[in-house]
Structure 1
Amino acid sequence: MANDNARDVDRVWDLMKKIGFAMLVTRDGDKLRARPMSAYLDRDANTIFFLTDARRHKDEEIARNPSINLSFADAGSQKYVSLTGTAAVSNDRAKIKQLFTTPAKAWWDSAEDPNIRVLKITPDDAEFWDSPGTVISYVKMAAAAVTNTRPDIGENRKVSM
């Protein structure tokens, strides 16, 4: 069982790396807010980083409630990861410089921008769906409908991170 969980954890990290972008979901009072963000994965530290802007509301939302959800989706290849975890915002300038790459240049002129913050996500658990792809999935679903069976359309697992 432990080997299965380790394999599933590896698969979660592989899928997140391949997809690269996540919808970050935070809580704003009773409402949920989601926004796309570019993920920086550090598997060795069991951490996902994002660069964020101190002038945006997500930092305030995280300060009030650090429980978050990340949703990674590659609809074209039918691969998905939903991850829950805990977020923390920091002004770690060395980490900002390390993470400041081409995607960040779309939002800030340089890593020296005083408004950039690091958003650090510590994962709790995840669920992934890894399908063989849209066409094959549709064929398997159609065949299952005709034969009155459940389709085998890939792996779906819940994983403790």
Structure 2
Amino acid sequence: MSTKNLSNQEAYDKLKELAESIDYAMFETNLGARPSHVIPMSTKQCDQEGSLWFLSNKDSDHNSFIHKDKDVQLLYSKPTAMEYMSIYGQAFIYNDLETIKKLYTTSDDAWFNGPTDPNITAIKVVPQEAHYWDTKDGMITTLFKMGLGALTGNKQDLGESGDLDL
């Protein structure tokens, strides 16, 4: 796997591409505790600044932890495509209806009573550090290349990984 660190627009494009294609992130709060608090959350949007948006219940444990400590970790994983991303950043909770309406879709009806539900909040995660792994060829081709490399002793191009400097 080659290293390709990305910055500026390339970093933003890779972050957006992976966050949207993977969608669900393991959203980790309470980072200083053992165990930390980890839940799956669907990415609602990656905005023009590279911030990631989620919807959440205002009384949830993760909202409570964010109020105490804004540091969060997002872990994206799509093993079938062999795409991964880790983001460390700060989370901010928003209650304004305009933001919530912009992010809300009908699939959120499983959790909330519409975008005007008084218990809904938006969480904005501003990345401070990010790293990605992307094979570009998917799992089957990558496994084939790994096997070929093991048989021939020749190094195979298994994709790229690197830091995202946003």
Structure 2 runs not aligned, ≥5 long? none
Task: Give, in angstroms, the shift of residue 50 of structure 1.
Answer: 0.7
**Partner residue, 2:164:** 159
Q: What is the RMSD of the two structures over their aligned residues, measured on CA atoms? A: 2.2
Structure 1 residue runs of 5 or longer lacking an equivalent are none
Which structure has more relative contact order (CA 8 Å, sep 6+)? It is 2
Matched, 1:81 2:92: no
| Equivalent residue number for residue 45 of structure 2 | 41
Cross-structure match for 2:143: 138
One-letter amino acid of the structure 1 residue matched with residue 65 of structure 2: E
Match of 2:130 in 1: 126
Partner of 1:11: 14
Query: 1: CA distance between counterparts of 2:36 and 2:78?
Result: 22
Q: Distance in 2 between matches of 1:84 and 1:129?
A: 15
How many angstroms does 1:119 deviate by? 0.7
TM-score where L is the length of structure 1: 0.88
Percent of matched pairs sharing the same residue: 27
How many matched pairs?
Answer: 161
Report the Cα offset of residue 66 of structure 1. Answer: 1.0
> Shift of residue 14 of structure 1?
1.2
Instruction: Show the 5 A alignment for 1:52-91.
Output: 52-91=56-95
Q: Which residue of the other structure, out of 20, 25, 35, is the alignment partner of 1:31?
A: 35
